Chain A
């Protein structure tokens, strides 16, 4: 049942982008008589300016995250946190991923790959890890790019709210995997 839903969702996903690319201009041209080519080019011009505008923000965030990652500070943090998390049943195997997820997309995918290679795709650690990966976003990157694109430097409560949600998501991943798949 679940397999077939997942299968059809993932099979259908590959049609979404081509259908949007052709469906939107089709509606505009046939129903509203929009000059689709001219309008497309007009909109596309913004692509360059926005992409270039986010460069300094992205450099700032990625450099800081990269330095933090390369230093091994995460491992030190792990040693410190592991005993506490053991108390609430949070597997230490999944802790690096949970900490890395908001910082780096490629980094957390690498950590998930490690867990799968070490414990096998059928292990509870892999399932928890994959759930964590799929249920969260790279919060730091998104904030830097989105706020950077419009020049907002005072982000107010965005980071606190985003990281709290990430933490709850990671705990929920452990809880539901142990409950349903454990």
Chain B
């Protein structure tokens, strides 16, 4: 899937670029974005180290396990393949909480930690598990309780009006994500054996 989309975007980019006369911009974008990708990754090192350090303390002190136990009724339904007391559950919950509170900087390290812990349970290391896909679908549909600071800055007073609509739209997309994942994971096309 990603193979076709990845190639497709570049292919369409080049064809459309020739067609619209913007082929120079296409070339420039390819080179610039490869630099941006490295800048983003390198920029993550500090924040990652900070949150992973704090997380390790939370884990050693048993805090994560306490949180994971509290939310067990929900998480065992969403992630039936993950043992309820597995550390991945704690990281997943913390990532979702950070996203809900709009703490993007904290959310990424917590999410990557969750992926690493889910990978421990994965028998086929190059293929996503049902739990990983569920986690990412919920993550990308972004359950957010706080309007992002950038939007507040942009919208001014009107920002408070979109509080309710944002929560409602988010709710719709998250519910869709959960049902789509549950529906698709049983399809033969997306099975672990046929994975692409």
A binds B: yes
Query: Chain A: residues with CB nearer than 8 A to chain B?
Result: 2-3, 5-7, 9-10, 13, 16-17, 20-21, 24-25, 27-28, 31-32, 34, 36, 39-48, 50-52, 54-55, 58-73, 75-76, 102, 109, 112-113, 116, 121-122, 126-127, 130-139, 142-143, 145-147, 149-162, 164-166, 168-170, 172-173, 176-177, 180-181
B195 to chain A: closest residue by CB? A154
Residues from chain B with Cβ under 8 Å of A50 in the complex: 44, 48, 52, 109, 112, 116
**Contact present for A59 and B38 (CB under 8 Å):** yes
CA–CA, A32 and B59, complex, Å = 11
Contact B6 A61 (CB under 8 A): yes
With A2-B164, A36-B57 as contacts: A72 and B22 at CB distance below 8 Å: yes
0 or 1 for each of B123-143: is its CB under 8 Å from A? (1 = yes): 001111000110011011110
- Secondary structure type dominating chain A contacts: helix
Question: A84 CB to closest chain B CB, in angstroms?
Answer: 19
Task: Please determine whether B165 and A173 come into contact, CB atoms closer than 8 angstroms.
Answer: yes
Interface on chain B toward A: helix, strand, loop, or mixed SS?
Answer: helix
Contact indicator A155/B128 (Cβ below 8 Å) = yes
Given the interface contacts A24-B54, A172-B168, does A161 sit within 8 Å of B41 by beta carbon? Answer: no
User: Distance (Å) between the CB of B168 and the closest chain A CB?
Assistant: 5
Take A47-B48, A68-B13, A71-B22 as given contacts and tell me if A21 and B126 are in contact as well, using a CB distance cutoff of 8 Å: no
Whether the Cβ atoms of A139 and B140 lie closer than 8 Å is: yes
Chain B residues packing against A (C-beta within 8 Å): 1-2, 5-6, 9-10, 12-17, 19-20, 22-23, 25-26, 28-30, 32-34, 36-38, 40-42, 44-63, 101-103, 105-106, 108-109, 111-113, 115-116, 118-119, 125-128, 132-133, 136-137, 139-142, 144-152, 154-170, 172-174, 176-177, 180-181, 184-185, 187, 190-192, 195-196
Minimum distance in angstroms from B34 CB to a CB of chain A: 5
Contact between A143 and B151, CB atoms less than 8 A apart = no
| Smallest Cβ-Cβ distance to B177: which chain A residue | A165
Q: Which residues of A contact B142 (CB under 8 A)?
A: 134-137
Known interface pairs A28-B60, A55-B37; A67-B29 also in contact (CB < 8 Å): yes
User: In whole angstroms, how far apart are the Cα atoms of A109 and B16 in the complex?
Assistant: 23
Q: Which residues of A contact B192 (CB under 8 A)?
A: 156
Whether A164 touches B180, Cβ cut-off 8 Å, given contacts A44-B49, A172-B169, is yes
Q: What's the Cα separation between A34 and B30 when bound, in Å?
A: 48
A6, A28, A68, A145: which contacts B163 (Cβ < 8 A)?
Answer: A6
Do A156 and B29 touch across chains, with their CB atoms under 8 A apart? Answer: no
For the complex formed, measure the closest distance between the CB of B5 and the CB atoms of chain A, giving whole angstroms. Answer: 7
